[in-house]
Amino acid sequence: ESTLGAAAAQSGRYFGVAIAGNRLSDSTYATIAAREFNSVTAENEMKIDATEPQRGQFNFSAADRVYNWAVQNGKEVRGHTLAWHSQQPGWMQSLSGSALRQAMIDHINGVMGHYKGKIAQWDVVNEAFADGSSGARRDSNLQRTGNDWIEVAFRTARAADPSAKLCYNDYNVEDWTWAKTQAMYAMVKDFKQRGVPIDCVGFQSHFNSGSPYNSNFRTTLQNFAALGVDVAVTELDIQGAPASTYANVVNDCLAVSRCLGVTVWGVRDSDSWRAEQTPLLFYNDGSKKPAYTAVLNAL
Ligand code: XIL
């Protein structure tokens, strides 16, 4: 195959990309994105601050621009993200307790209702665990509403759109030996045992010198899949974009039958949220980097 998406489709998977809506008018960007990928995640446009800037007043103009471009170009869409401590609008940052809990529920219903039946996977909850060795939940206004906020979010999401796969998504959970990984594993195991509706776990996979790729990532993916959930690489970028590491990540996904696909977090290095790390598959002029060829050959 000659594109990443077509190559991934040979094994029933996707190869996706994070799209920034305001870059779609750049023809180099749009040409690569349309040609190479068969799944799209909105980099920022479906987040809480973008979709509900005032309480109860939803605005889907930026989100729909990305969604419509994706569908018109034949791609499936990952929804990102409904409940998160970051990129909350000011009104939500200032809420707490039962008012915040209700606002979270209303937000999930509002956004999932708008896209009902149209989203392959939703990142229902993002980044709820703390970094470091504690294995604790991250302190946030949502966490302070009660430890059950995550399962309430998932139950709300299942009712709002039964057709979407519901994912928990986080970073620094790729290395099986890390406490954060083990804490996330315990939560997913508990959810499956108690019937809390969860279908998938997203591994962001922002690899760099502080949180490097480790070959035990495949073990992590296998162990989560064995709990009865799908897994996905949701925001891949790798400092310096070493071709061999990109190939390793792709091979890790391909080795796990429940790995749905891989999404890279941007098109060209200059589009990356970490542009200084040159972590992506395309040079700034739109040409293919060695890592691109390594990924295509691995798929
Ligand atoms: C990042 C975007 O890439 C940036 O444009 C934005 O300024 C901040 O958020 N984890 C996530 C993503 O789940 O939503 C983040 O995206 C990167 C880290």
| pLDDT tens sequence across 146-170 | 999 999 999 999 999 999 999 999 9
CA of 193 to the centre of ligand 1 (A): 31
126 lines ligand 1 (CB under 6 A): yes
Ligand 1 atom having least distance to the Cα of 265: 3
Nearest residue by C-alpha to atom 4 in ligand 1: 273
Positions marked active-site: 235
pLDDT exceeds cutoff 90 at 285: yes
How far, CA to CA in Å, does 211 sit from each of 21, 239, 261, 271? 29, 10, 21, 21
137: which strand partners?
Answer: 129
Ligand 1 atom having least distance to the Cα of 273: 3
| pLDDT tens sequence across 180-210 | 999 999 999 999 999 999 999 999 999 999 9
CA of 43 to the centre of ligand 1 (A): 6
CA of 18 to the centre of ligand 1 (A): 10
Mean pLDDT of 79-86: 98
Residue 276: other Cβ atoms inside 10 A: 8
156 lines ligand 1 (CB under 6 A): no
For residue 27 the two structure tokens come to: 């023809």
pLDDT exceeds cutoff 90 at 237: yes
272 lines ligand 1 (CB under 6 A): no
Mean pLDDT of 210-216: 97
CA distance linking residue 159 with residue 254, whole number of Å: 31
Nearest residue by C-alpha to atom 16 in ligand 1: 43
ipTM of the complex: 0.99
CA distance linking residue 99 with residue 183, whole number of Å: 28
Map residue 272 onto helix, strand or coil: coil
CA distance linking residue 201 with residue 186, whole number of Å: 13
How far, CA to CA in Å, does 145 sit from each of 54, 100, 101, 267, 293? 21, 7, 6, 37, 47
Residue 166: other Cβ atoms inside 10 A: 27
